[in-house]
Chain A
Amino acid sequence: MTTLQEPLVQTAGVVEHERKAPGGFYKWITSVDHKVIGKNYMYTALTFMFIAGAMALLIRTQLFNPDGHVVSLQTYNELFTIHGSMMLYLFAGPFAFGGFANFIIPLQIGAPDMAFPRLNNLSYWLYLLGGVTMLFGFFTASGAAAFGWVAYAPLSSAPYSPGPGPDLWIVSIALVGFSGIFTAVNLVTTIFYLRAPGMTMFRMPLFSWSMLVTGILILIAFPVLTAALVLLYADRHYGAHFFSVAGGGVPVMWQNLFWFFGHPEVYILALPFFGIISELIPVFSRKPIFGYKGMVFATLAIAGLSTGVWAHHMFTTGTVLLPFFSALSLLIAVPTGIKVFTWIATMWGGQIRFNTSMLFAVGFIFAFVMGGITGVMLASPPIDFYTHDTYFVVAHFHQVLIGTTIFAGFAGIYYWYPKLTGRFLHEGLGKWNFWVTFIGFWITFMPQYLLGLRGMPRRIAIYSPTDGFTFLNRMSTVGSYMMGIGMFLFLLNFIISWRRPRPAGDNPWDGFTLEWATSSPPPAHNFHSLPAIRSARPTWDMNHPEHADAVPAVTGGDESAQ
Chain B
Amino acid sequence: MRNESRVYLGIGSFFVLILVIYFVWSRESTGSVLLLASAGLGLLPGLYIGWWSRRMQQRPEDVDEVAPRDITGVVGQFPENTIFPFTLGVGAWLVGLAFVFGLWFAIIGLGFVFGAAIGATLESKRASLSERENRV
Interface positions of A (Cβ within 8 A of B): 3, 6-15, 17, 21-22, 26-27, 29-33, 110, 112-113, 117-119, 121-122, 124-126, 128-130, 133, 164, 167-168, 170-171, 174-175, 178, 192, 195-202, 212-213, 216, 219-220, 224, 233, 253, 256-257, 260, 300, 303-304, 307-308, 310-311, 319-321, 324, 328, 524-525, 530, 532-534, 556-561
Interface positions of B (Cβ within 8 A of A): 1-4, 7-8, 10-11, 14-15, 18, 21-22, 25-26, 28, 30-31, 34-35, 37-38, 41-42, 49, 53, 58, 60-66, 68-76, 78-86, 88-90, 92-93, 96-97, 99-101, 120
A10 touches B22 (CB 8 A): no
Q: How far is the CA of A556 from the CA of B64 in the complex (A)?
A: 8
Which A residues are CB-close (under 8 A) to B21? Answer: 324
B99 touches A22 (CB 8 A): no
A-B contact pairs, 24 of them (CB 8 A): A9-B68, A12-B71, A13-B70, A15-B75, A29-B86, A32-B78, A113-B75, A118-B78, A118-B120, A122-B88, A122-B89, A129-B93, A171-B96, A171-B100, A220-B38, A253-B30, A256-B31, A260-B30, A304-B11, A321-B26, A532-B68, A558-B2, A558-B62, A560-B62
B64 touches A557 (CB 8 A): yes
Q: Contacts A110-B71, A256-B31, A533-B66 given; 10 further ones with Cβ under 8 A? A: A12-B70, A14-B76, A129-B89, A129-B90, A197-B61, A198-B61, A201-B4, A253-B30, A256-B28, A557-B64
Q: How far is the CA of A22 from the CA of B80 in the complex (A)?
A: 10
Q: How far is the CA of A530 from the CA of B25 in the complex (A)?
A: 53
**Which of B31, B37, B82 contacts A121 (CB under 8 A)?**
B82
Residue of B nearest to A22 (CB): B81
B76 touches A126 (CB 8 A): no
B61 touches A126 (CB 8 A): no
Which B residues are CB-close (under 8 A) to A216? Answer: 7-8, 11, 42
A561 touches B71 (CB 8 A): no
Which A residues are CB-close (under 8 A) to B74? Answer: 13
How far, in Å, is B67 (CB) from chain A's closest CB? 8
Q: How far is the CA of A3 from the CA of B65 in the complex (A)?
A: 10
Residue of A nearest to B54 (CB): A560
Residue of B nearest to A256 (CB): B30
**Which of B15, B75, B83, B88 contacts A13 (CB under 8 A)?**
B75
B93 touches A197 (CB 8 A): no
A561 touches B82 (CB 8 A): no
How far, in Å, is A508 (CB) from chain B's closest CB? 26
A133 touches B71 (CB 8 A): no
B88 touches A560 (CB 8 A): no
How far, in Å, is A353 (CB) from chain B's closest CB? 32
Residue of B nearest to A199 (CB): B61
Contact (A118, B82) CB under 8 Å given A130-B93, A324-B26: yes
A307 touches B80 (CB 8 A): no
Contact (A32, B7) CB under 8 Å given A9-B71, A233-B99, A561-B62: no
Which B residues are CB-close (under 8 A) to A324? Answer: 21-22, 25-26
Q: How far is the CA of A561 from the CA of B59 in the complex (A)?
A: 9
A201 touches B3 (CB 8 A): yes
Q: How far is the CA of A14 from the CA of B15 in the complex (A)?
A: 43
Q: How far is the CA of A133 from the CA of B21 in the complex (A)?
A: 41
Q: How far is the CA of A342 from the CA of B61 in the complex (A)?
A: 27
How far, in Å, is B127 (CB) from chain A's closest CB? 11
Residue of B nearest to A178 (CB): B92
B15 touches A171 (CB 8 A): no
Which A residues are CB-close (under 8 A) to B37? Answer: 224
Q: How far is the CA of A199 from the CA of B4 in the complex (A)?
A: 13
Which residue, of B21, B60, B64, B97, has the highest number of chain A Cβ atoms within 10 A?
A: B64
Which B residues are CB-close (under 8 A) to A200? Answer: 3, 61-64
**Which of B1, B8, B82, B93 contacts A32 (CB under 8 A)?**
B82
Which B residues are CB-close (under 8 A) to A300? Answer: 7, 10-11
Which A residues are CB-close (under 8 A) to B100? Answer: 164, 167-168, 171
How far, in Å, is B97 (CB) from chain A's closest CB? 7
How far, in Å, is A536 (CB) from chain B's closest CB? 12
- Pairs A-B, 10 closest by C-beta atoms: A125-B89, A197-B60, A560-B2, A121-B85, A122-B85, A195-B61, A129-B93, A304-B14, A201-B3, A30-B81
